[in-house]
Chain A
Amino acid sequence: MSRLEKQRNILDYTLSSLLRRKGKNAALTLVFTLVVFMVASAVLFAQAVRREASLVLKDTPEIIVQRTVAGRQGLVPEAYVERIAAIRGVSAVRGRLWGYYFDDAFGGANYTLMVPDAFPYEPGTIVVGGEVARNSRTRVDNLLPFKAHDGTVRGYRIGEILPTESALVSADLILMTEPDFRSLFGIPAAEVTDIVLSVRNPQEIATIAHKIAALLPDTRPIVRDEILRTYDAVFAWRAGLLLAILAGSVAAFIIFAWDRATGLSAEERREIGILKAVGWETGDVLTMKFWEGAVVSLSSFLAGIALAYAHVFFASATLFEPVIKGWSVLYPDFRLTPSVNAPEMAALFFITVVPYTVATIVPSWRAATIDPDAVMRF
């Protein structure tokens, strides 16, 4: 006698029994797959976007220093750069120039304008992101008009369009030289939008942030990790929100599964009675019911996840995109990096398969304790 053989035999019978009632079981499996698909899509998408965001933020400077005037963001005097550079542990301090430009043509879009560290083109030329070009229906070598701070219109030649790989950050980006930027927005020479700095020792980041705040009381240092945390929390929160909404459908499915399991047809009842009459004991019938549940739930689980994977990573999660990514006119069309990890799968398992299994325990037991005695009297 071998335990393995026994399980194989019972599994064999279970499979044949499932196939004999194709209709009912197909419906159950289909609905289960759908539920897993929805939940898995939400989870996979949210995690993928979070990963993407953290990857993107990985190379940003550790601390950003902004200046607040009456609670709102103001320009920072360039002199602050040297004072910050004098703090021990700080490396690579520089001022940044950037801002927003609202273009009310073509449906209205908010562009981010920036002066990068190294700009290979001369004044008069700009580099734009993919969505900017698309939205303005323009291409390289064309002129893009801007309304300057003094009411005049300036035209800049498009020198280059940023590649789509960087879409998440560059979609709405426009890069230009410093003189162009200052003259477009009317920013005086001794001022910058904010200051960024790197810190050599990660343990020191918090201390240095405090020192800056103490040294320059009208500034607000922002630590990169705080940004990461905020994004993390937002995406996770949105995913959780989606799940909370889906909870209704998961609950409905569980009730359906329970109802299906409880409502044994007369034929099914007779079969189990016969099994018990010919020598299967309650434990054996419970094992059969367990295999039934396992086959249905595992195949639905795998199918649902596979479909969700395809949905998220090949179709860019068309169904859930707006909820997770947020609303905006300009949204880059980018491919998420496919990846799946064990905790996610475990979480999905606990949200779908576990409630299903629990719901079917009592119905399975009721089926398994059918009295064989009754069969004698049929």
Chain B
Amino acid sequence: MIEIVEVRKVFNAGRHNEYTALAGVSCSIASGQVTVFKGPSGSGKTTLLSIVGCMARPTSGRVVLAGRDITSLPERFLTEVRRRKFGFVFQQFNLIKGITALENVMLPAYPLGERRAALEARALGLFELLCIADRAREKAELLSGGEMQRVAIARALINTPETVIADEPTAHLDSRLSREFMEIVGRLKREGKTTIIASHDPLVYESEIVDRVISVRDGKIEPGDP
């Protein structure tokens, strides 16, 4: 369970281009559920995702993860927490060109010092799960949009995290692929994983798999949402 209390995030503080992305946000995210942050671009939902997912530290406020206050953790330990508990799927997939899909998927586990053979086996298992096993050894730039999305999901799952976070996952996908994505989310939910998605795509936030929708606007959560 993730709890954020009065979190503020200010960029370029004290300078002429000071910008407040989040202006005092509080909410709790239940485990095992699919939560969607809904809102237009510029509403601060990406910033909210990065703070919930331990990728950034709030300017003020607290972040509590499973009862542990992680607000002041220095980067090294925050990253430790993040890579074990969270998997990220980015808007642009962000795969590294020039290396194979398999290597892309194994990357997040490199610093953990696992034996390569075991790592590769697990990665290939994920490829199987997502039905793209035959594309595992292709260079990342040669994959189609849908294949890249699945590779990105596989990469997010390589360290068997409890929570998967996706930022505008359907932004570059057609309806068919978007529905396939939500199906995969459903599968993850059945496995007990928590999923947090930021999206302004109705196909996402109106899906029946979604348990809770939180509206975000101008760096604040809109009242009416618990």
Contacts and interface: CB of A to CB of B under 8 A. Distances in A.
The short answer to whether A and B are in direct contact, CB under 8 Å, is yes
A377 B44 CA distance: 11
Contact of A279 (B46, B79, B115): B79
Interface in A281-321: 281-284
A1 interface: yes
Nearest to B82: A279
B113 A5 contact: yes
Given A279-B159, A281-B80, A376-B50, A13 B110 contact: yes
A279 B112 CA distance: 10
B123 interface: no
Which residue, of A3, A4, A16, A277, has the highest number of chain B Cβ atoms within 10 A? A277
B98 A20 contact: yes
Nearest to B57: A373
A9 B96 contact: no
Given A10-B110, A20-B98, A372-B55, A278 B92 contact: no
Nearest to A287: B111
B76 A281 contact: yes
A378 interface: yes
Interface stretch (B60-68, B83-91, B172-180, B207-215): B83-91
B116 A281 contact: no
Contacts of A377: 46
A239 to B, nearest CB: 45
Given A277-B55, A375-B90, A376-B50, A13 B116 contact: no
B188 interface: no
B111 A277 contact: no
Q: Is the interface of A mostly helix, strand, loop or mixed?
A: helix
Nearest to A6: B113
A274 B56 CA distance: 15
Interface residues of A, number: 32
B134 interface: no
B51 to A, nearest CB: 9
A309 B107 CA distance: 41
A256 interface: no
B99 interface: yes
Contacts of B167: 376
Interface string A1-26: 11111101110110010001000000
B94 A280 contact: no
Given A1-B113, A2-B113, A375-B90, A279 B108 contact: yes
B114 interface: yes
A373 B56 contact: yes
B45 to A, nearest CB: 11
Nearest to A373: B56
Contact of B113 (A9, A270, A278): A9
A117 interface: no
A284 B80 CA distance: 11
Contacts of B80: 281
Interface in A261-276: 267, 270-271, 274-275
A6 B111 contact: yes
Given A373-B50, A376-B167, A378-B91, A279 B83 contact: yes
14 contacts: A2-B113, A3-B113, A5-B114, A9-B111, A10-B111, A13-B107, A16-B98, A275-B107, A278-B88, A279-B159, A280-B107, A281-B111, A282-B76, A373-B50
Given A281-B75, A375-B90, 19 more contacts: A3-B113, A5-B115, A5-B116, A9-B116, A267-B97, A271-B96, A274-B94, A277-B55, A277-B90, A278-B108, A279-B111, A280-B110, A281-B79, A284-B111, A373-B55, A376-B49, A376-B55, A376-B90, A378-B91
Q: Which 10 residue pairs spanning A and B have beta carbons closest together? A: A279-B83, A6-B113, A281-B79, A9-B110, A278-B108, A1-B113, A5-B113, A279-B108, A284-B111, A20-B98
